[in-house]
Amino acid sequence: MTAPAVERPHRRSPDADAHAVTTVGLTKQFRGGQVAVDHVDLAVPTGAVYGFLGPNGSGKTTTIRMLLGLTRPTAGTHRLLGGRMPEDAATLLPRVGALVEGPAFHPHLSGLDNLRRLDAVDRTADPTTSRARIGAALDRVGLTPAGRKKYRVYSLGMRQRLGLAAALLRPRELFVLDEPTNGLDPQGTREVRTLIAELAAAGTTVMLSTHLLAEVEQVCTHVGVMNSGRLVAQAPLAELRAGTATRVEVETDRPVDAIATMQRLELPDVVVQGRRVGAALGELPSDRVVAALVYDGVPVQGFRVVVPDLESVFVGLTGEGFDVSG
């Protein structure tokens, strides 16, 4: 198993213009001594949709909290949109829309009033455009009809939408979205993915923390994988996929002969399991393997090419399964 980013870590000093988020040696050690985030070097390219992946408890949320200045790193530095954090938080964070660990609002206020409050506390928000911006944000997440209802009665999906509306209260250059589709129905999930695609198409950088691989496959251009507090891989999505070899698998009565053929073809990583023989394909076209098997008189009862799916890539990186139900 190869882990591309481990072999080629982003050690080069990242250009501020080219990266919306960079961290160098970002570390968080809790008072108990537990290291939640361990020397993480993130590099989120400007304009990317960056899938921030990892099993539960791998340090994703702690990293995001540090990025936004909510918690203090015990070591390391980070920059957002080219500026230093947390020193320049006052000028940087208004350009960042964030959804951290699910939505949180005042239950006794309506969705509209909650947004009004968030806009009112923003010193850099123009009060004269407040009403229009709030209306547009509610509209964009499809919450206008429920805007005057109390947050208390919102379903989880509506709450999630309101959280997104808060992030959309003003134009942003970077979105940091922690599990934005959590609790949404399939329709809502699709809408959020479309929204993310729209934001990205407008040039906004999106950093998307998720454990749903479908989400990553559909919207992300770049991926960073966390495991046990470490960043175990970071690469463009296509590159990460390429790191895992396509395999062939043949089903036959005479597996020993099949093994011999595959070895003659110099296919690496030959394995046998009962009647099935598999091997990595390498550079060879798959039809050549079938031809060789037939030429050698191996009865081919079944043959398939196994393209690596993202899940196996991540299981290889993290040693843990993901929830792929989404």
Partner 1 sequence: MSAAKQYALVPGAFVPVPTLRPSRAAAVDDVPALTTGFPAGRMFRSELRLMFGRRRNQAALAVLAAVPIVIAVAVRWSGPRGGGEGPAFLSLVNGNGLFVALAALTVALPLFLPLAISTTAADAIAGEASLGTLRYLLTVPVSRTRLLLTKFAAVITYTFVGVLVIAVAGVAIGLLLFGAGPAALLSGTPVGFGEAVLRLGMVCVYLTLCLVALAAVGLFVSTLTEQPIGATIAVVATAITSQVLGAVPQLEVIHPFLLTNYWTDFGELLRDPISYGALVPGLVSALIWTAVSASAAWARFGSKDVTS
Interface positions with partner 1 (CB under 8 A): 17, 45-49, 65, 68-72, 89-91, 93-96, 98, 100-102, 104-109, 116-118, 120-127, 166, 171-173, 190, 193-194, 196-197, 200-204, 214, 217-221, 236-238, 241
Contact 139, 111 (CB under 8 A): no
- Which of 145/186 has CB closer to partner 1? 186
Write down the least CB distance from residue 46 to partner 1, Å.
6
- Which of 2/71 has CB closer to partner 1? 71
- Which of 91/301 has CB closer to partner 1? 91
What is the Cα gyration radius of the chain?
24
Write down the least CB distance from residue 144 to partner 1, Å.
21
Write down the least CB distance from residue 178 to partner 1, Å.
10
- Which of 30/299 has CB closer to partner 1? 30
Place of tokens 């039809």: 287
- Which of 240/262 has CB closer to partner 1? 240
Contact 318, 54 (CB under 8 A): yes
Angstrom distances, CA of residue 136 to CA of 4, 102, 114, 166: 42, 21, 15, 11
Residue 280 phi, psi (nearest 5): -75, 145
The residue type found at 51 is G
Write down the least CB distance from residue 3 to partner 1, Å.
19
Which string of DSSP letters, residue by residue, matches 88-100?
Answer: THHHHGGGEEEE-
Q: What is the spatial distance between Cα 43 and Cα 56, in angstroms, rounded to a whole number?
A: 21
Write down the least CB distance from residue 301 to partner 1, Å.
27
Distance of CA 298 to the CA centre of its chain: 44
- Which of 192/289 has CB closer to partner 1? 192
Angstrom distances, CA of residue 39 to CA of 26, 86, 145: 5, 18, 46
- Which of 95/276 has CB closer to partner 1? 95
Using the 8-state DSSP alphabet, how is residue 44 labeled? E
Strands 230-236 and 222-227: antiparallel
Write down the least CB distance from residue 170 to partner 1, Å.
8
Contact 201, 133 (CB under 8 A): no
Write down the least CB distance from residue 197 to partner 1, Å.
5
